[in-house]
Structure 1
Amino acid sequence: MAADFAAARLNMVESQVRTNDVTDVRLHDAMRAIPREGLIPAERSFQAYADTAVEYAPDRYLLRPREVSKLLQALKPQAGERALAIAAPYAAAVLEALGLTVDRLDGDDLTAVSGSNYDLIIVEGAVTRAPESWLAALVLGGRLGVIEREGPTGKAALYLRAEDGIGRRTLFDAMAPVLKGFEPQAGFAF
């Protein structure tokens, strides 16, 4: 079975990552080496390399390989940087393989960032809008990659802390399940 997963990893990088303009060879190498199947329940391991979000815990999903690789590339991770992976076990493993120090936040309260001074924050799941606590945890030059979603389709966003504040740029359309507790709030409309 292990040989099947190795072939599936290679196929994932060739057909879902490289074909979507992810050109960072370091990401390709890390994604070819990290066993996604080890991050999800054994009964779902057959989904590890499929073009779908895979539930790894109740209401928590690994992003599709396309989305996570594009987000990681946009964040421009560098060895030696400090990262925070929010509900993002696969992205954390990739960042560690690239030489970053990674803290993981995967509890009940995903807005309770205990540290600060992060060069990079990545989230594997959609939110309506990035919470202030995540943005406040970024150092000068720090980047946050997250999918923001209010309707059926989300948009990947890159936030950057600069001397004059936080900037935001939309990167690409993305499909990702909304993290529990981050659902859009129903409001009154005329």
Structure 2
Amino acid sequence: MTNSAQARSSMIEGQLRPNNITDERVIEAIASVNREKFVPKAYAGVAYVDEDIRVAEGRYLMEPMVFARLLSEAHVKPTDLALDIACGTGYSSAILGRLAEAVVALEEDEDLVNSATAVLAEEACDNVAVVKGDVTAGLAKQGPYDLIFINGMVDEIPEAILDQLSEEGRVVCVLNDRGVGKACLVTYKDKVRGVRILFDAAIPPLAAFAKKAEFSF
């Protein structure tokens, strides 16, 4: 077994399974992707630690346990079309690509778009397309989506993104609840938002999704 495979196995057995990650499809997807390829070379040796890893300004590989729990709660189906928002270097997109039929990976930074495209090609993620665009606007022309995954803690989910859900679609994300991260599953049917809190999750925020300051006189 290579060092990389051993590190992945240790992450799964030491971080994921002890934290009630029991969805074997999620486990198998995570086991099949070389996480170290999606971090800067200087961080390759710590790619499997139970920490969020900064990969670019404002972009992180989410802590493995939180990421795996979110995926488990998303119940990704093999027929799903997924939108991966703020995909960074593309790690989350690679895992989603193992679980869903197709993935649209959305990122604002052109360097990250190019990096993610290259690494995803190396990892044989043929059903993932990386697109440059405003992460707060989503990508309506490719929708509707059965699953929208947001990489980072957000103050709120723009209605423009919720409008891109299919009839049975859902958003999986971490919402900022007065400074505390709450992993949530969000639905949006007939303009009615449903929010189910899943678990507490401390992950870095996405600045683009910060709530606009309100002025009072």
Report the alpha carbon displacement of residue 186 of structure 1 after superposing the two structures with TM.
5.3
How many residue pairs get aligned? The number is 188
Partner of 1:61: 60
Structure 1 residues 135 and 9: alpha-carbon distance in aligned structure 2, compared to 1, 3 A threshold = same
* Alignment partners' CA distance in 2, 1:58 and 1:107: 11
The whole-number CA distance in structure 2 between the counterparts of 1:162 and 1:150 is 23
Amino acid at match of 2:170: R
Q: Which moved more, 1:177-186 or 1:48-57?
A: 177-186
1:161 deviates by: 3.0
Structure 2: gaps of 5 or more residues: 110-133
Residues 88-127 of structure 1 mapped to structure 2, 5 A cutoff: 88=87, 89-107=90-108, 109-115=134-140, 116-127=143-154
The 5 A counterparts of 1:14-93 are 14-88=13-87, 89-93=90-94
AA of the residue aligned to 2:139:
S
Q: Deviations over 1:32-61 (max 9, x none)?
A: 110111111111112211111111221101
- Closer/same/farther in 2, CA of residues 166 and 184 from structure 1, 3 Å limit: closer
Counterparts in 2 of 1:141 and 1:99: CA distance versus 1, 3 Å: closer
Residue identity opposite 2:6 in structure 1 = A
Q: In the alignment, what sits opposite 2:114?
A: none
Amino acid at match of 2:102: T
Distance 2:212 2:17 in 1: 36
Structure 1, unmatched stretches of 5+, are: none
Does structure 2 conserve the Cα–Cα contact (< 8 Å) formed by 1:130 and 1:146? no
Tell me if the contact between 1:154 and 1:176 (Cα under 8 Å) persists in the aligned partners. Answer: yes
Distance 2:181 2:146 in 1: 24
Question: Which position in structure 2 is the counterpart of 1:181?
Answer: 208
CA contact (8 A) 1:145 1:159 kept: yes
Secondary structure at the residue paired with 1:149?
A: strand
Q: TM-score, normalised by structure 1?
A: 0.90
Secondary structure, aligned partner of 1:37: helix
Q: Give every structure 1 segment of 4 or more consecutive aligned residues whose post-TM-superposition deviation is greater than 6 Å.
A: none
2-structure distance, mates of 1:44, 1:27: 24
Q: Once the 2 structures are TM-superposed, how far is the Cα of residue 80 of structure 1 from its aligned partner?
A: 1.9
Q: Which residue of 1 aligns with 2:173?
A: 146
Q: How far 1:91 sits from its partner (Å)?
A: 2.1
Aligned-residue CA RMSD (Å): 2.0
Q: Within the alignment, does 1:4 sit opposite 2:3 as a pair?
A: yes
TM-score (norm 2): 0.80
Once the two structures are TM-superposed, the CA of residue 162 in structure 1 deviates from its matched residue by: 3.5
**Percent identity over paired residues:** 35
